[in-house]
Amino acid sequence: MRVFIAGIDGYLGWPLAIYLRANGHEVAGADLLLRREWVAEVGSLSALPIATREERLRAFHETFGTELDFRLGDLTDYDFVKGFFADFQPEAVVHLGQMPSAPYSMIDQTHCVWTQQNNVINNLNLLWAIKEVAPAAHLVKLGTMGEYGTPNVDIPEGFFEVEFRGRKDRLPFPRQAGSWYHQSKVHDSHNTHFASKIWGIRATDIMQGVVFGTQIVEMGDDPRLHSRLDFDQCFGTAINRFCCQAVIGHPLTLFGLGKQKRGFLPLADSMACLRLAVENPPAPGEFRVFNQFENAYSISELAYIVRGVAADIGLEVEIRHYDNPRTEMEEHYYQPDRRRLLDLGYQPTRDIKSVIKRMMLDLLEHRDRIEAHANVLIPDIRWDGRRKRSEIIG
Amino acid sequence: MRVFIAGIDGYLGWPLAIYLRANGHEVAGADLLLRREWVAEVGSLSALPIATREERLRAFHETFGTELDFRLGDLTDYDFVKGFFADFQPEAVVHLGQMPSAPYSMIDQTHCVWTQQNNVINNLNLLWAIKEVAPAAHLVKLGTMGEYGTPNVDIPEGFFEVEFRGRKDRLPFPRQAGSWYHQSKVHDSHNTHFASKIWGIRATDIMQGVVFGTQIVEMGDDPRLHSRLDFDQCFGTAINRFCCQAVIGHPLTLFGLGKQKRGFLPLADSMACLRLAVENPPAPGEFRVFNQFENAYSISELAYIVRGVAADIGLEVEIRHYDNPRTEMEEHYYQPDRRRLLDLGYQPTRDIKSVIKRMMLDLLEHRDRIEAHANVLIPDIRWDGRRKRSEIIG
């Protein structure tokens, strides 16, 4: 299948190109390499060294024997997107090309507006380009479990049957996202649903949990094929950040009580699920929503797992609570459904400890890179708009 | 009270400036006069002649004895908004400064993206400017009843109590908007709700019905104080368009069955409701939603009312069904709540026939302006992306 990957240089985009190619698909993609700039802007770098675009292209060619059509370009530039689609004629479009950090979007007015402008417009452009030059293509849009927030009821996959004052309807499940970034994804979900309704676009809206991990087997041993891994307060998500902290002996940073629950999944599971979505497209005009995660964990539960794995390989780490820079509920009900990907054949990794061990071994080789940037591990971007480093509260 | 009006040159903004000033408030506002440009772009003009900004300012000064601080400026320019707020120190901000047309947003990719970019960013800028320089100010955000779509259950005012799989929560009522424009308003509602949650902003999100009417008594006899009235396929909403059609003897244009139901309200009711919202602000951090309309009517019911009023003043008009350019349900349940404004003292106009009669008499004086642009009365902007004039189907 011809699969277009928007954001092909990113943490998920690059492994996905490899994974889909290794599984027989024809891949092309676009990226403006902005993730590299954002991470530098917040004073950090990828814990694992990553190759330049040119090196990645050479390695891809050497490994798979085909050129990768990976163009530098801005997805908010409609002519670029439309022209690329006209050339490549995608059958599936996986949209990973967005600014993905909640704290980055919360820095100030400029970052808030930029995030929403970039994410909303580039998603609209993909929808329009599908409509205008590849109308049979299936859009696999990366959203986030964070779009739902933490309601006091079960979280279905996108829609639910409601009885209200004696009448019934099937309605979109309400979204209560917790950052300007997460809000941008909610806007995208609404726009995508509407486009499928009026134009008959096939769409899968992936409500993905937090991804962790350094490797997929398809990368092999060539370091030029490896993906990035971030640990800073903006782009370093929970387990990735914990592992980086563990390998340099920094306390694991829980925000507030640490009882916040979220869905998580290993990088390999994310790839497998995206492939399942791509290979099993919905009917024309169908807008389906998948909740995509291996399991739901509380943040402190994960910190204790990471500490346990660290101990197994001889690293001693402590867990500390910091005052929470975010406005969020720290204790709440959390029961999201996860049925549709299982029905398509998704087999969740049950052993996340092995994944975490693999991560720590990979990261240990580059501990100097993390140590040199350890000041980005403590958050100072606060949801109330102030800029103030979190302090240890327990 | 110091009230800032975003979009002070518009169909609602200009009368609101007059109405609030006549009722003792201090008013300032901004506009870029884009509505005048959009209507020209789609080949039309206001049925009622309107004064230039300079003439409006002179008339305002002569009538009320005070200068109106009405600045030309772009609400997507944050420095402009923040600087104006710092000068004026608003206690309330009424946000009417958006692109308000569903068909205009559906023209093509450029109009879709421009609409969402303009509306989402200017609303974010108002939120940020309130937070940064006028944190006690109350945002009265104009949304639309169209944000809800036409669900098969009653439409509450923003939130509803849900029982799902045996658990309960109070959730935002799901939004299923029917155009790129209406989607932009949904995005604004989500962003505004989030800002009130994290920053403690007072916000009223007005889900307004379709407004009709040419006058409010506070305008008096000075034609320079009168507001615009549009009749083209983009900016001419149902009753306004019907009245313009009636006075030139053009058939009233129903789309499809004409059984679509919507909330409607006279211009004077819109002014009175906005004033009630302004004068009764919510608590800090409260995000409240008002459904604002006089009553719900089907489109064909309104066409028959307009025909009846026309007959009373000696005008004979016919009603014709055109193939519907929109993707929408033409027969559906529609039962929106409208309790909160009544609780604040809103007294709905019960006699919409008098309002419609007043409109027709005003419009009769300018029938030549409508006749000269009668080609804009039949829609050709279709929701499926084609451009094709609707044909008579009954």
Residues of A in contact with B177 (CB under 8 A): 190, 194
Q: What's the first-to-final CA gap in chain A, in angstroms?
A: 52
Contact at CB, B194 and A175, closer than 8 angstroms: no
Place of tokens 């306390």: A251
Does a structural domain hold residue B296? Answer: yes
What secondary structure letter does DSSP report for A173?
P
Contacts of B198 in chain A (CB under 8 A): 327, 383-384
Phi and psi at residue A323, to the nearest 5°: -60, 140
CB within 8 Å: A190 and B186: yes
Find, in chain B, the residue whose alpha carbon is nearest to that of A78: B109
Measured between alpha carbons, how far is B192 from B285 in angstroms, rounded to an integer?
11
Q: How many domains does chain B have?
A: 1
B175/A contact by beta carbon, under 8 A: yes
Please tell me the distance from the alpha carbon of residue B238 to that of residue B254, in angstroms, as a whole number: 9
| Count of residues in chain A | 394
Would residue B346 count as lying in a domain? yes
Kindly provide the residue ranges of all beta strands, DSSP E only, lying in B273-363, ordered along the sequence: 287-292, 295-298, 319-322
Q: Provide CB contacts within 8 A for A79, sequence distance 6+.
A: none
Kindly state whether residue A20 falls inside one of the protein's structural domains.
Answer: yes
Interface of A with B in 310-369 (CB under 8 A): 327, 333
Q: Does the annotation mark B322 as catalytic?
A: no
CATH number, residue B252? 3.40.50.720
Cβ <8 Å between A194 and B180: yes
Task: Select from B76, B106, B124, B147 the residue whose CB has the most chain A CBs within 10 Å, as the one to mutate to test that interface.
Answer: B124
A280 within domain boundaries: yes
For residue A386, tell me if it sits in a domain.
Answer: no
State whether residue B197 sits within 8 Å of chain A by CB. yes
Residue A388 lies in a domain: no
Query: What is the predicted pLDDT for the residue at B375?
Result: 94
- Give the pLDDT confidence score for residue B190 in this predicted structure: 98
Site from B188, B191, B332 to mutate, A interface, most A CB atoms within 10 angstroms: B191
Q: Residue A28 is part of which domain span?
A: 2-376
Answer yes or no: do A154 and B160 touch at CB < 8 A: no
> From the list B128, B333, B383, which residue is nearest A198 (CB)?
B383
Q: How far is A353 from chain B (nearest CA, A)?
A: 33
> pLDDT tens digits for chain A (394 residues)?
999 999 999 999 999 999 999 999 999 999 999 999 999 999 999 999 999 999 999 999 999 999 999 999 999 999 999 999 999 999 999 999 999 999 999 999 999 999 999 999 999 999 999 999 999 999 999 999 999 999 999 999 999 999 999 999 999 999 999 999 999 999 999 999 999 999 999 999 999 999 999 999 999 999 999 999 999 999 999 999 999 999 999 999 999 999 999 999 999 999 999 999 999 999 999 999 999 999 999 999 999 999 999 999 999 999 999 999 999 999 999 999 999 999 999 999 989 999 999 999 999 999 999 999 999 999 999 999 999 999 999 8
Rounded Cα gap, residues A216 and A94, in angstroms? 18
The reply to whether the predicted model has a pTM over 0.95 is yes
Taking only residues 131 to 160 of chain A, the set having a beta carbon closer than 8 angstroms to any beta carbon of chain B reads 131-132, 151-154, 156, 160
Q: Do residue A124 and residue B112 have CB atoms under 8 angstroms apart?
A: yes
Told to judge if A297 belongs to the known catalytic residues of this protein, a careful annotator would answer no
State yes or no: ipTM above 0.95: yes
Residue ranges of chain B whose pLDDT lies below 70: none
Decide if A152 is inside a domain: yes
The answer to whether residue A393 sits within a structural domain is no
Single-letter residue type at B320 = R
- Tell me the DSSP string of A79-109: HHHHHHHHHH--SEEEE--S---HHHHTS-H
